[in-house]
Structure 1
Amino acid sequence: MDIRQLKYFVEVAKQKSFTRASTTLLVSQPSISKMIKSLEEELGVVLLDRNERKVVLTDAGAMVFEQAQTILQMMEQLTLSVDELVHMKRGRVKMGLMPTVGSLLFPHTIARFRKEYPDIEMQMVEHKAKQLQHQVEQGELDVAVTVHPVDEALFETVPLLSEELVAIADNEHWLVERESVRLAELKNESFILFSEEFVLHDVVRQACAQAGFEPKVAYVSQLWDLVGEMVATQLGIALVPRSMVRRLNQRSIQAVTISEPHIDWKLVLIYRRDRYLSYAARAFIRYAEANWSIRDQL
């Protein structure tokens, strides 16, 4: 069995397309098809259903896909381990950040890390918190900055930031006359929520349930700025981390402290407990633990 067979098969399965896999791998489509066909013949099973518009895994294909991912990750880890022995203090960190939050909080930390470790390459992607957790779980990322809670049986966590959620409202809303408000007092308000891909969506809904009501949802968005604009135009209120308020339209909205319950919004750096970490990833985790300072970021 050739490792390329597994690599090509896994990529076709992920992309659900020979054409897209060919583009990603920079290998001709006939070569990929031939390699996967030889793998099927060697195993004596059909791995891919090619009759649909999208390529679909067969039952046997799904089992091989899961095992093949593990094998490829082990091969990558072996390569990284050898590379560390030959090139100490070199390597790369595959890191995930949440949009807006990452750009607000992490540039200074990353810049200082690069100065101390100039031979370590930082590869960064942006996704929502839940997707980042999935990518770390699958080994696609070494580390990610996401929102607590996470599965602590699966992930090690490095606390980065803990702050309160506040209510934001337009300048003419009754809330702006208050220094603080109990969440239960907002039960009749319309809420602008972030979409379900955001951990913040779950945090707000759970807090409202704790306060004894189900929020009336006026709109759901994936964009921080759009949430702020909708609040400013009196479509509803929203709950956001205090540090994010200054990124919104401050001339048209104001933030009010929630006195009860206190709702924490916690940023953590996560990595898999049971997976090998490269020298570069370990160095970055140590650096974040020792040097993270929220005062430098805000």
Structure 2
Amino acid sequence: MDIRQLQYFVEVAKQKSFTKAANTLHVSQPSISKMMKALEEELGVVLLDRTERKMELTDAGELVYDHATKVLHLMDSLALSIGEIRNMERGRVKMGMMPTVGSFLLPNVIALFKKQYPGIDIEMKEYSAKLLEIHVEQGSIDVGLTVLPADTEKFDAVPLQAEDLVAIVHREHWISERESISLAELREEAFILFTEEYAIHDVVKQACLRAGFEPQVAYMSSLWDFVGELVATQLGISLVPRSIVRRLNNSELRTVNISSPKIDWQYALIFRKDHYLSHAARAFISFAEQHLSP
């Protein structure tokens, strides 16, 4: 049984005539007759009670007609829905983002995207960078907003805006009045780092190692604002993206640029390599790239 058989049968039942159904469907009458005979043989029942004056559905024909009309309606609905998805009239993007980073980059972009594609819903969840990669790899989210580098064997990455990391210190710290400092000059300082599941933990640690020392870790936290509070109570210094400093809003803190090495914080959208990506997700990636390109 195929869809064409059901289409022909439904039309014959509506028209109560092979000739009229053939004219409506733009096929020959013998083709319709052959298709109906094949359908009856396949089902093992008589569907049409044919007399000289009229054609009526049998009990089995009534049952098949009822189900066939539902199937054809679902097929039409499916085709319409697929067309809507293709034309970006509907869809959903499951997106993961690093805490704070998303609130810094995405609100305006999402607002503009929703104006252009009102039928596409965006579902957002927060993850640390390492957890985010796991969820993208597993397919529980379509796209992840993270920082580079990403695993190029598993993910395609679309670079977005970048910023640098800066040092935050207490206002009475010995470097608080300086405009910039080299990372090597901070080798004796106590560092307040983010916990190991966050990308910035590895970025800061690797930058310190390249500068010739391993950072002395006083505390670790997963919360941006708590890191700022620890620095404000003179328990150590920290390195954070410049955009985060504006959000800490603490009068006890001072910001000092890192002159060498310059530590870039490159944002990117990542998605699985060689896997299907929905029309909606591709549209969002392209839109974000357009509005947040480096």
The TM-score, its normalising length taken from structure 1, stands at 0.69
- Which residue of structure 1 aligns with residue 147 of structure 2? 147
- Which residue of structure 1 aligns with residue 183 of structure 2? 183
The offset of 1:83, in angstroms, is 4.8
The offset of 1:292, in angstroms, is 2.3
Aligned pairs for 1:10-89 within 5 A: 83-85=81-83, 87-88=85-86, 89=88
2:282 is the alignment partner of 1:277: no
Q: Which runs of 5+ in 2 are unaligned?
A: 1-77
In the TM superposition, what whole-angstrom CA distance separates every residue of 1:241-285 from its partner, at most 9, and x where no partner exists? 111111113311011011111111111011112110111011111
- Which residue of structure 2 aligns with residue 93 of structure 1? 93
Q: How far apart, in 1, do the equivalents of 2:79 and 2:102 lie? A: 29
The offset of 1:87, in angstroms, is 4.3
Q: How far apart, in 1, do the equivalents of 2:79 and 2:153 lie? A: 25
Residues 223 and 83 from structure 1, CA distance in 2 versus in 1: closer, same or farther, beyond 3 angstroms?
same
Q: Which amino acid aligns with 2:239?
A: L
- Which residue of structure 1 aligns with residue 119 of structure 2? 119
- Which residue of structure 2 aligns with residue 138 of structure 1? 138
Q: How far apart, in 1, do the equivalents of 2:286 and 2:250 lie? A: 36
- Which residue of structure 1 aligns with residue 46 of structure 2? none
* Contact kept in structure 2, 1:228 and 1:249, CA below 8 Å: no
2:143 is the alignment partner of 1:110: no
Q: Which amino acid aligns with 2:235?
A: L
Residues 186 and 119 from structure 1, CA distance in 2 versus in 1: closer, same or farther, beyond 3 angstroms?
same
The offset of 1:166, in angstroms, is 0.6
SS of the aligned residue for 2:111 comes to helix
Q: How far apart, in 1, do the equivalents of 2:142 and 2:98 lie? A: 15
- Which residue of structure 2 aligns with residue 67 of structure 1? none
- Which residue of structure 1 aligns with residue 27 of structure 2? none
- Which residue of structure 2 aligns with residue 201 of structure 1? 201
In the TM superposition, what whole-angstrom CA distance separates every residue of 1:54-95 from its partner, at most 9, and x where no partner exists? xxxxxxxxxxxxxxxxxxxxxxxxxx9995346432210000
Q: How far apart, in 1, do the equivalents of 2:141 and 2:201 lie? A: 24
The TM-score, its normalising length taken from structure 2, stands at 0.70
Residues 87 and 105 from structure 1, CA distance in 2 versus in 1: closer, same or farther, beyond 3 angstroms?
closer
SS of the aligned residue for 1:176 comes to coil
SS of the aligned residue for 1:172 comes to coil
* Contact kept in structure 2, 1:241 and 1:265, CA below 8 Å: yes
Q: How far apart, in 2, do the equivalents of 1:140 and 1:106 lie? A: 20
SS of the aligned residue for 1:267 comes to strand
In the TM superposition, what whole-angstrom CA distance separates every residue of 1:171-220 from its partner, at most 9, and x where no partner exists? 00001121111111101000000000100000000001001111111100
Residues 81 and 174 from structure 1, CA distance in 2 versus in 1: closer, same or farther, beyond 3 angstroms?
farther
Runs of 4+ residues over 4 Å off in structure 1? 80-83
SS of the aligned residue for 1:239 comes to strand
* Contact kept in structure 2, 1:84 and 1:91, CA below 8 Å: no
The offset of 1:101, in angstroms, is 1.6
Q: Which amino acid aligns with 1:289?
A: E
* Contact kept in structure 1, 2:85 and 2:280, CA below 8 Å: no
2:289 is the alignment partner of 1:289: yes
- Which residue of structure 1 aligns with residue 211 of structure 2? 211
Q: How far apart, in 1, do the equivalents of 2:244 and 2:233 lie? A: 18
2:274 is the alignment partner of 1:255: no
Q: Which amino acid aligns with 2:139?
A: G
SS of the aligned residue for 2:234 comes to coil
> What's the % identity of the aligned pairs?
59
Residues 91 and 259 from structure 1, CA distance in 2 versus in 1: closer, same or farther, beyond 3 angstroms?
same
* Contact kept in structure 1, 2:104 and 2:243, CA below 8 Å: no
Q: How far apart, in 1, do the equivalents of 2:222 and 2:80 lie? A: 42
- Structure with higher Rg: it is 2
RMSD: 1.8
The offset of 1:291, in angstroms, is 2.1
Q: How far apart, in 2, do the equivalents of 1:172 and 1:210 lie? A: 28
Residues 127 and 81 from structure 1, CA distance in 2 versus in 1: closer, same or farther, beyond 3 angstroms?
farther
* Contact kept in structure 2, 1:232 and 1:249, CA below 8 Å: no
In the TM superposition, what whole-angstrom CA distance separates every residue of 1:20-50 from its partner, at most 9, and x where no partner exists? xxxxxxxxxxxxxxxxxxxxxxxxxxxxxxx
Q: How far apart, in 2, do the equivalents of 1:264 and 1:81 lie? A: 47
